[in-house]
Structure 1
Amino acid sequence: MLLVTVAIGTAAALLAWRERPEPGAVPLVALLAGQCLWSAFLVFDLQASTLDAKLFWANVRWIGVVAIPVAWVFFSLEYTGRDRYVQPRYVALLSIVPAITVALALADSSLLYTDSSLVSENGALYLTRDPGPWFWVIAAYTYLLGLLGALPLLELIWHDSRPFRGQSAALLVGILAPWTANALFLAGAIPVPGLDPTPVGFAISGVAYLGALTRFQLFGASPSPTPRARRLLFEQLPDGAIVIDAHDVIVDINESGAAILGTSRRSALGQPIRVVAPESVLVQTDDPTAEQRGVTGRHDDRLYDVTVTQITDVRDRTIGRVITFHDVSEHVRQQQRHEVLNRVFRHNIRTETNVISSYATLLADDDDRGAAAKITDSAARIELLATRAREITDVFDRAHEPADPVPLESLLEDALAPVREEYPDARIECDPVDDVHVDGVLEPVFTNLVENGIEHDPSPEADATVRIAVETADDGDRVRVHVTDDGPGIDGYEQTILERGAETPLEHSSGLGLWLAKWGTEIAGGAVSFDTDGRHGTTVIVEVPVLTPPRSTDD
C-alpha cells in the first residue's frame, strides 16, 4: 500500500511539475514530494529490524512531515491569487518551527520524544514513542497551517461557480484524508501501536490530486487572477472611489479618488472622511437618500456626480459605504452646447430672419438704401452665427481625439492670420512666445478672442488694438495667454453667464464667440478668466497645461 502511495504521489508530482509556470504548481510539487518522502521513509522504517535503524528512519521522516503543511499553505495562497504573501521572507517565517523540529528530530532530542521502544505485533516490530512537549507544538502548528490553507479553498466552494468548486473540493479531500488518519493515530484509535496510518491516507490524497489535475483541470482554469483583477479594477477605475467603514473612516481609496480630493492614497487611508472630503460629499455620505449633486475637484474645475452605496453583511447590517465620483464634465459641456445652440437657432436666427423680412417688405414699397443696408447686416450676422456654430461643433468633435501638441508660437500665427486679413487696419501686437507646446484645439479660441476685441472696439478700425502676452508658470507646467483689447469691456452679466455655464430664456449672452473660447479652453484642459477695470478694455486670460512635444520621426 505504501509503495502504491509513493507511485500515485510521484505521478501527481510529475503532472504538477509540467505545469510549474502556473500559479500553485511549485508548492503542490513540494507538498507531494513531502508525502512521498514520508511514505518512503516509513517503508524503510517498517523493514528495519533494530531500534537504532528504526529511529534513524523515523527521525529523517520529519523532513517530509514538516514540508507538507508549509507547502499546503503557500499552494493555497498562490492558487487562489493571494501570491503577494508567497515571498521568501514569508516562506522563511513559516519554516522556522518546522526547521526547529527537523533539528530536534535529527538530534534525537527528548523535547520531541521522551522515550522510544520496540513492540511486536503479529510477528512484526513497530516503533512506539512517547511524545515530548515540542511534539505537541509541531502537531498544533501543522493543523493550524492546514486550516489556514483550507480557508481560501472553502471560500471558492462557497462563493464561486464551476469549475473552481470541483477543483477545490478535490484538493480539500486530498488534504483531509491524511489529516484524518493522523488525528485518529494521535487519539490512540489505531489498534496497532506504533503504526501511523497517515501515509495510507496519502493514497487517497494522491488520487484526489490526480483527479484535480486531470478531471477538473486544476491548472487549466485557475482562480488566481480573480483577487488581483478585482484589485486592479478598483485601482484603475477611471471614476474615483472611496471605501469608508461604519465609523466614516477611509479604509480604501483608489488613485482617481485621491486625485479628486487633492490628496494621496497614503495620506487619506485611516483618516475620517470629514477631513479630506468637501461638505457637498459629506451631505450625501450622511444621507444617501439625499438628492445627488455635483461637486468639483480640489485642483481642477471638473464636475463630478457623487453616488453613495451601502455595504452590508450577511445580517443586512451596514458595515461601510462606497463613495464614487463620476466625471460628468463632458456631459455638462454637451448639455450647455445644446442649450446654447438651441437658443441661437430658436431666438437669434429667428430674430434676424424677422428683421430681414421686415426690411424686405419696406424695400418692396420704397427703394430705401438704409433698409437694404440693414438687410445686408442681418444676413452677415446670420452667416457669422452659422460659422461660429460650425466651429463649436468642430471643437467638440476634437474633444474625443487625442491632444495634438503644437508650438504656441505657430498656433498664434495661424490663429491671427485670418483676423489680419479681415481687419487689415487693426493693430494686433503679440509679444515673443516661449518655446512651449499646447493643444491645437486652441486655434479657433484665440481667433475668436482677437476678433471679438476688434469688433467691439467703438474706435475706427485703424485705432482698434489687441495685445497678446504670454506668461509661463514657474514650474513650466502651465502657460497663460493674455488677450487685451481697448473696447468697452465685457458686460458683467455676460461674464456671470459664462461662469455659471448655463443660459436662461430671459438671460443669455450676445453670441457664440465667448462660448467657443470657454469650451475650447476646457477641452484643452484649461480655464478662461476675465480681468477688466470696469471702464474700458478687457483682458481675457486663457490658462492651459503645457504639453510634451511630439517625438521627431528621425528619433
Structure 2
Amino acid sequence: MVVDVSGLPWLTVLCLVTGIAPFVLVGVLARYRGKPGVDWFIVSLLFYGGWCLTYGLSLFVADYELRVAFETVSWMAFLCIGYPFLGFALDYTGRSDLRKSWLFAALGVGPAVGVALVATNAWHGLVWQDPTIVRAYDAVLLDYAIQPLGFAAASVGLTYSGIAVLLLLDTVLNYGPLYRREAIAVALSPLPPSVGLIVWWFGLGPVDAVNWGVVASLPHAALDAYAFVGKNMFATSPATRRVADETALDTLPDPVVVLDESDRVVEFNDAAARVFDGLSTDRIGTPVSAALPIEFPGSDDYVSVSGESGRYEFAVDETSLSDPRGAVVGSTVLFRDITDEREREQRLEVLNRVLRHNLRNKLTAIGGYAAQIEADAGDPELSRWARKIGDSGDELVAIGEKARTFDSLRQTDVTPVRLDVETFLADVVSDLTADYPEARIDTRVDVAGTVRTDPDLLGLALRNVVENAIVHDDSDAPQIHVSARESEESLVIEIQDEGPGIPEQELAVVADGVESDLEHGSGIGLWIVEWSMRRLEGDVRFESTDEGTRVTLVVSAETTVELPPKAETNGHK
C-alpha cells in the first residue's frame, strides 16, 4: 500500500544532494590522478554519482516512458559501481598485479552482462516487471517487481564492493595507524547504501517504491569526504609498504628463510635459492631440516655451506614473527654472510702467530747477535751500528708484545671489578718508571671511593698513552702529569705531557680509523688505546695544548663512595 504524504520534497532534495556530492569529490580528487587507486576510485564515484543523480532527477518525471528510461539509466550506473571500486582497493593496497591480471579483467563480464540485461529489459522483463508510477513524499516514484535475475545482477556489484571492503580492512589490520582512520572510513562508506538497498528490495521501509539505497547514500559521501579531503588519504598509500614487504626479502643480499611455528619453510629469497642447493618452491611446506642441505643451527650460531656457487660462512640470526595481535606465527632466519670476515680473521690469526712467535724469536736472536758484535767489535763505528740494530730489534719485540697483550685481552670478556683509582694509577706508574726511569710521572686523584671497570683494558690503554708521551719527548727527563676525576657517571683520566707531544700524523691516522702506504703511524700503541677504549665502551680524545698534548680517557664507571667506619661509642654520646 502506497501512502501519499504531502509536504516539502525532502526526498527529492536529499537524492539530488547525494547525487551531486560524488561529482564534487571527483573534482577534489583530480589532483591525485596517477596515484595508486585514484583513477579507479574516480570512475567508481562517477558511476555512484550517476546512479544517485539520475534517480534524484527521475523524481520530477511524471511521463511513464521517460520515467522508465531514467530508472534504466540509474540501474545501469548502479551495476557499474562495484567493479571500479574493487580496482581501487587492489591498486590502493598494493595489489596492482592482481588488478592487471586476466582474472580481474574476467570479473568485468558480470557488470557488462547486467548492464546489457537492464538495457533490454523492456523486451524480456528478466530484471523487473510491472513498472507503475506512484507518488509519495511529493515525488514521482516507479514501483515494480524485481526479478531473480535482477537481484543476481545487483549482487555481483555488491560482492565486488564487499571484497574491496575486506581488502581495506586488511590494510587496517596489517599496516597500523598510518592508514587506519582513512581505510576504516572508506570501508564503512558502502554499508549505509547497502542497508538501504536491503530495505528497498525486501519492502522493509514505509514506502516500497522508494530506493532507500540512494536515500542512505549521504553518509557514504560524508565518509568518503572525510577520508579523501579531510585526511588526504591519497597523499600516502599502503601500496608503498606492501610492495616493500613483498620485495624486501629479495632485495636483501644475504639468504633469508621464513619458517612457520612448526619450522616448515614458507618463504625464502633469491639469495637463499642461490646459496642452498636444492632449495626451490617445491620445498615450501617441508621441514627446514629437509629443505636445507645443512644441519639447521640455533640462533647466534655459525654454519658452513659448500655448493656449486662456492663455499660460504654464515652467522645465523633467528627472529620471531608476530601477527598484529602479538601472537608468534613463525620466524625469520637470516644467514649473514661472514665469509670475508672469517677469512680476515684467519689471516690475522696467522699474522698474529708469526708476529708473536716466529718474528719474536728471530728478533731475539738478531738482538743477541747484535749484542755480541757490539761487545767483540774493536771498531767504535761498528759497535754503534750494532747497538742500533739491537735497539731496533728491541722496539719491534716490544711492539709484538703489545699486540700479544691486546690480543689476549680481546679474546676474553670485559670483566669489570671494583678498584681503587689511586692504587690503580700508582701500579701503572710504577711499571712505567721501571721501564723508563728517566721519566717523571706525577698523579692526582679526585675520586671519592672506588669505581667499577675492567682494570686490564683501562691499564693497557693508560700505559700506552703515557709510553707514547715518553718516547716522543726528546728531553732527558720527560715530565708527564696524570689526573683522575669523576664526571657524572664516568671516570675521566687526563694525561698531559710537556714535550713536543704526539705527532699530528700519528693522531690523524687513529682519528680517521684507516692507515695507508702514505699515511700511517709508527707503531701500534695508539691503536691499542683506541681499541681498548672501544671495548670498554668509552672514549679517547686528543688535544694539542701550549704545554704539549693532552689525552683524555673517558669510561663509564659506576662509582661507590666508601664511608669511613663509625667510631665506637662504648655507650657514651
* TM-score normalised by the chain length of structure 1: 0.60
- For residue 231 of structure 2, the aligned residue among 189, 203, 216 is 216
Aligned partner of 2:523 in structure 1 is: none
2:302 equivalent to 1:293: yes
Rounded Cα–Cα distance in structure 2 between residues aligned with 1:83 and 1:76: 9
2:265 equivalent to 1:256: no
Rounded Cα–Cα distance in structure 1 between residues aligned with 2:135 and 2:374: 133
Aligned partner of 2:313 in structure 1 is: 303
AA aligned to 1:302 is: Y
| C-alpha distance 261-8 of structure 1, shift in aligned 2 (>3 A) | same
Rounded Cα–Cα distance in structure 1 between residues aligned with 2:127 and 2:148: 6
The question of whether the paired residues in 1 share the 8 Å contact of 2:257 and 2:334 is answered with: yes
In structure 2, the residue corresponding to 1:193 is in which secondary structure? coil
2:212 equivalent to 1:197: yes
Aligned partner of 2:164 in structure 1 is: 149
2:248 equivalent to 1:233: yes
Following superposition, the deviation at residue 355 of structure 1 comes to 0.3
Following superposition, the deviation at residue 254 of structure 1 comes to 0.8
Following superposition, the deviation at residue 32 of structure 1 comes to 0.7
In structure 1, the residue corresponding to 2:59 is in which secondary structure? helix
Rounded Cα–Cα distance in structure 2 between residues aligned with 1:221 and 1:327: 35
Aligned partner of 1:362 in structure 2 is: 372
Rounded Cα–Cα distance in structure 2 between residues aligned with 1:165 and 1:313: 16
2:68 equivalent to 1:55: yes
Stretches of structure 1 that go unaligned for 5 or more consecutive residues are: 387-555
- For residue 334 of structure 1, the aligned residue among 311, 332, 344 is 344
AA aligned to 2:76 is: I
Rounded Cα–Cα distance in structure 1 between residues aligned with 2:279 and 2:302: 24
Greater mean alpha carbon deviation, residues 25-34 or residues 153-162: 153-162
The question of whether the paired residues in 2 share the 8 Å contact of 1:35 and 1:199 is answered with: no
The question of whether the paired residues in 2 share the 8 Å contact of 1:280 and 1:295 is answered with: no
| C-alpha distance 124-36 of structure 1, shift in aligned 2 (>3 A) | closer
In structure 1, the residue corresponding to 2:72 is in which secondary structure? helix
RMSD value, Cα: 3.4
The residue correspondences of 1:530-541 to structure 2 (distance < 5 A) are none
Rounded Cα–Cα distance in structure 1 between residues aligned with 2:301 and 2:91: 42
Following superposition, the deviation at residue 363 of structure 1 comes to 2.8
AA aligned to 1:353 is: L
Tell me the alpha carbon deviations over residues 324-365 of structure 1, each in whole angstroms, 9 at most, x when there is no partner: 211011221222233222222221222112101222333345
The residue correspondences of 1:82-231 to structure 2 (distance < 5 A) are 82-87=95-100, 89-108=102-121, 109-121=124-136, 124-231=139-246
| C-alpha distance 12-125 of structure 1, shift in aligned 2 (>3 A) | closer
Tell me the alpha carbon deviations over residues 89-137 of structure 1, each in whole angstroms, 9 at most, x when there is no partner: 3443222221221111111143322443333436654212222222332
Following superposition, the deviation at residue 29 of structure 1 comes to 0.7
2:37 equivalent to 1:24: yes
AA aligned to 2:142 is: L
Rounded Cα–Cα distance in structure 1 between residues aligned with 2:131 and 2:84: 29
Aligned partner of 2:455 in structure 1 is: none
In structure 1, the residue corresponding to 2:310 is in which secondary structure? coil
| C-alpha distance 72-116 of structure 1, shift in aligned 2 (>3 A) | same
| C-alpha distance 159-17 of structure 1, shift in aligned 2 (>3 A) | same
Rounded Cα–Cα distance in structure 1 between residues aligned with 2:243 and 2:137: 57
Stretches of structure 2 that go unaligned for 5 or more consecutive residues are: 1-13, 379-384, 400-573
2:88 equivalent to 1:70: no
Following superposition, the deviation at residue 31 of structure 1 comes to 1.1
Aligned partner of 1:325 in structure 2 is: 335
The residue correspondences of 1:412-431 to structure 2 (distance < 5 A) are none
| C-alpha distance 315-8 of structure 1, shift in aligned 2 (>3 A) | closer
Following superposition, the deviation at residue 274 of structure 1 comes to 4.6
Following superposition, the deviation at residue 317 of structure 1 comes to 6.9
In structure 2, the residue corresponding to 1:296 is in which secondary structure? strand
Rounded Cα–Cα distance in structure 2 between residues aligned with 1:265 and 1:15: 49
Rounded Cα–Cα distance in structure 2 between residues aligned with 1:168 and 1:313: 19
The question of whether the paired residues in 2 share the 8 Å contact of 1:67 and 1:98 is answered with: yes
| C-alpha distance 314-6 of structure 1, shift in aligned 2 (>3 A) | closer
The question of whether the paired residues in 1 share the 8 Å contact of 2:277 and 2:293 is answered with: no
Tell me the alpha carbon deviations over residues 76-95 of structure 1, each in whole angstroms, 9 at most, x when there is no partner: 11111111111163443222
AA aligned to 1:358 is: G
Rounded Cα–Cα distance in structure 2 between residues aligned with 1:318 and 1:165: 23
AA aligned to 1:361 is: A
Rounded Cα–Cα distance in structure 1 between residues aligned with 2:46 and 2:225: 14
In structure 1, the residue corresponding to 2:41 is in which secondary structure? helix
In structure 2, the residue corresponding to 1:234 is in which secondary structure? helix
Greater mean alpha carbon deviation, residues 143-152 or residues 260-269: 260-269
Rounded Cα–Cα distance in structure 2 between residues aligned with 1:326 and 1:365: 59
| C-alpha distance 315-157 of structure 1, shift in aligned 2 (>3 A) | closer
Following superposition, the deviation at residue 241 of structure 1 comes to 1.1
Rounded Cα–Cα distance in structure 1 between residues aligned with 2:185 and 2:135: 38
In structure 2, the residue corresponding to 1:279 is in which secondary structure? coil
Rounded Cα–Cα distance in structure 1 between residues aligned with 2:136 and 2:62: 13
Rounded Cα–Cα distance in structure 2 between residues aligned with 1:297 and 1:230: 30
Rounded Cα–Cα distance in structure 2 between residues aligned with 1:313 and 1:44: 50
Greater mean alpha carbon deviation, residues 224-233 or residues 58-67: 58-67
Rounded Cα–Cα distance in structure 2 between residues aligned with 1:138 and 1:295: 61
Aligned partner of 2:22 in structure 1 is: 9
Query: Which structure has the larger Rg over C-alpha atoms?
Result: 2
Following superposition, the deviation at residue 265 of structure 1 comes to 4.7
Following superposition, the deviation at residue 312 of structure 1 comes to 5.4
Aligned partner of 1:43 in structure 2 is: 56
The question of whether the paired residues in 2 share the 8 Å contact of 1:297 and 1:304 is answered with: no
| C-alpha distance 205-312 of structure 1, shift in aligned 2 (>3 A) | closer
Q: For this pair of structures, how many residues does the alignment match?
A: 375
In structure 2, the residue corresponding to 1:352 is in which secondary structure? helix
In structure 2, the residue corresponding to 1:322 is in which secondary structure? strand
Tell me the alpha carbon deviations over residues 237-288 of structure 1, each in whole angstroms, 9 at most, x when there is no partner: 111012244565533221100001135755654665455412322xx3xxx4
| C-alpha distance 297-10 of structure 1, shift in aligned 2 (>3 A) | farther
Rounded Cα–Cα distance in structure 2 between residues aligned with 1:362 and 1:121: 127
Following superposition, the deviation at residue 319 of structure 1 comes to 4.7
The question of whether the paired residues in 2 share the 8 Å contact of 1:9 and 1:203 is answered with: no
2:353 equivalent to 1:343: yes
* TM-score normalised by the chain length of structure 2: 0.58
The question of whether the paired residues in 2 share the 8 Å contact of 1:16 and 1:26 is answered with: no
